[in-house]
Amino acid sequence: MSFKIVADSSSNIKGGNCSVVPLKIYLGDKEYIDNNDLDVSQMMADFGNSKEKSSTSCPNISEWLEAFEGADEIFAITISSNLSASYSCATSAKDEYLMTHEDAKICIIDSLSVGPEMELIVEKIIQLRNEGKEFHEIEQEIAQYQKRTHLMFWLKTLDNLARNGRVNGAVAKVVSALGIEIVGKANEDGELQLLHKCRGKNKSYAKILEELEMSGFSGKCIITHCNNEQDAVKLKELINEKFIDAEIVINECGGLCSYYAQNGGVVLGYLSN
């Protein structure tokens, strides 16, 4: 049986053992395809120099079907269904695929999250597969594993989230006007929840460490950032000081996550015990 893992590009994954289906970002009439060829820094510079309207779109059914092709066992991981229609399209693609591949097994996973938490799920599927687990065993174990995966974000602006209806517009205006930083998380329903309004980096660092401790942080974390390696590295150092031997990886956000996190944004995917 041929095996395949597919994720949409909100996962920030660049390929390897996982096929990636790109979302798209729009600035006026210009389209940015969130794949390995996208110059994220240039895209963010374009947004910074423009007053045009922006939006995003998820992979359509045909794009998911193309990604599934050639496999008999498929795990597909999508951005939260409360943030995008990607899960719905992947589910429809599953139904169509099974019409012509009756013996195939397909598991569509709603990450209820985005970015590095999705990457943790993909890594776990690969681990279980390498351990020789059967499809149904992986499916069951991932459902349990998702109870331990979490997402936290630290943002300097909420403008693009507000423009696309992901957070309250009035709150976004206050954040911009007062220069407040926001620490938040993805809740159990896969919605973005704003937790703390912070003045200055030190307050933000402290709240992130506090949230990690309260969640029962297990020591595994992926930190992603949009043009802010300095704060990502500092945050890694602080986490390692508080949680000895924590396993922390730093990556750059892909196009979709950069669009929403915006310049300076930092997003963490992590495990609890």
Structural domains in the chain, CATH included, are: 3-23+58-145 (3.40.50.10440), 149-272 (3.30.1180.10)
Please give the share of the chain, as a percent, with pLDDT higher than 90.
Answer: 91
Supply 18's token pair: 């996982």
What are the tens digits of pLDDT across the range 222-236?
999 999 999 999 999
Classify the C-alpha dihedral 46-48-52-58 as positive or negative: positive
What are the tens digits of pLDDT across the range 161-177?
998 888 888 878 878 77
Pairing of strands 54-57, 24-27: antiparallel
For the chain, the average pLDDT equals 96
What are the tens digits of pLDDT across the range 102-129?
999 999 999 999 999 999 999 999 999 9
pLDDT value, residue 1: 66
Is the pLDDT reported for residue 201 higher than 80?
yes
Average pLDDT for residues 199-204, to the nearest whole number? 95
What are the tens digits of pLDDT across the range 36-95?
999 999 999 999 999 899 999 999 999 999 999 999 999 999 999 999 999 999 999 999
User: At CB < 8 A and 24+ separation, what contacts does 127-132 make?
Assistant: 129/3
Pairing of strands 73-78, 105-110: parallel
Helix (H, G, I), strand (E, B) or coil at 82: coil
What are the tens digits of pLDDT across the range 11-41?
999 988 999 999 999 999 999 999 999 999 9
pLDDT value, residue 249: 98
- Residue given tokens 């660092």 in the structure block: 205
Supply 192's token pair: 């973005």
pLDDT value, residue 120: 98
Determine contact, residues 161/167, Cβ cutoff 8 Å: yes
Determine contact, residues 211/185, Cβ cutoff 8 Å: yes
